[in-house]
Structure 1
């Protein structure tokens, strides 16, 4: 067993913030050392918590459409790593799921990402992931950060959350589907088709 596998097992046993989680701890992460694409999301939703399969919901269907890949490729840990900012379902607030808990970033992210040396593309989904992966390079809000995607490409592409709750955002920002998605599909295809 390599160092990454040992760390993933340790993470999956983590219960640091279990008392704060409405459904208990169930850390959900994926990825092998050979992965070239990193999907950096927010935190699992309730369906993902129940199945332990990331993006196993309507958001995942849309995300795979955005990337131009099927479930087989998306869930191939040798090609795609999925490392959300929070590994467990955080619960629900007034306007949707609560933010990812900070314990995961503080405890696990640095050492986990160091063990994914072949990542060439980080898809940064949502504000919390952008704050972490873009550091001080993001713009005044999520829309402006996504609009400035060319500043971060080819290594990082900021995305809005693919949730159906963002349908209004997508209608108001047609440039995203016209400009960003064709680039992402091309880049993802290039990475997953390479041996």
Structure 2
């Protein structure tokens, strides 16, 4: 018998498939049956692992500004979901955080996505999320993926990572914040049925 989302959520929170992770398993996500906006990243970082809350850092501040939502809405409105490709911090390698273990998406992703029937807007960050959600853009440079997704029907957008480390990219690609972000904000306002809160 297929599991409901509440059961899947409980199972994911108790998951210990990757016992050998450097800081141990600590699944971090934010999901509710009412989710209508879904944010899909790569995996929790070290700060997120420590805090137990996604995007509670300068990257999250920028992401919320792109959505034009405040922190309370972002974290407490059940219509805003966060479901990374890997649920736990994968550790750090020579070039940054390691990729999310494939077993995570293989084990959980399809079952959970089938239960999120009300999602109207998906915001995709990172190569692993692009490959799963928009396979036609797999392997494309970030700039091309962001641009091509923004030309679609408005249900899925690829975002550059909101990290301050991407300030140079944002400066070189001013069209993103000038043209794409307003479209994202328009969708968010429509879905949440509230005026901009910022």
Q: TM-score, normalised by structure 1?
A: 0.93
The answer to whether structure 1 residue 84 and structure 2 residue 84 are counterparts is yes
State the shift of 1:99 in Å: 1.5
- Alignment match, 2:103: 103
The unaligned stretches of length 5 or more in structure 1 are none
Secondary structure of the structure 1 residue equivalent to 2:123? strand
Deviations 1:131-162 (A, max 9, x none): 11001245731110101233333210111111
The answer to whether structure 1 residue 26 and structure 2 residue 9 are counterparts is no
State the shift of 1:54 in Å: 1.0
- Alignment match, 1:165: 165
- Alignment match, 1:52: 52
The answer to whether structure 1 residue 176 and structure 2 residue 176 are counterparts is yes
For residues 104 and 77 of structure 1, what CA distance do their matches in structure 2 show?
26
Over the aligned positions, Cα root-mean-square deviation in angstroms equals: 1.5
Secondary structure of the structure 2 residue equivalent to 1:189? helix
For residues 138 and 68 of structure 1, what CA distance do their matches in structure 2 show?
28
Contact 2:38–2:82, Cα closer than 8 Å, also in 1: yes
The answer to whether structure 1 residue 10 and structure 2 residue 11 are counterparts is yes
State the shift of 1:30 in Å: 1.0
- Alignment match, 2:69: 69
Contact 1:149–1:180, Cα closer than 8 Å, also in 2: no
Deviations 1:82-122 (A, max 9, x none): 00000000111222211222111100000011111100000
Q: TM-score, normalised by structure 2?
A: 0.92
The unaligned stretches of length 5 or more in structure 2 are none
For residues 36 and 48 of structure 1, what CA distance do their matches in structure 2 show?
23
- Alignment match, 1:121: 121
Secondary structure of the structure 2 residue equivalent to 1:74? helix
For residues 52 and 6 of structure 2, what CA distance do their matches in structure 1 show?
17
For residues 23 and 174 of structure 1, what CA distance do their matches in structure 2 show?
37
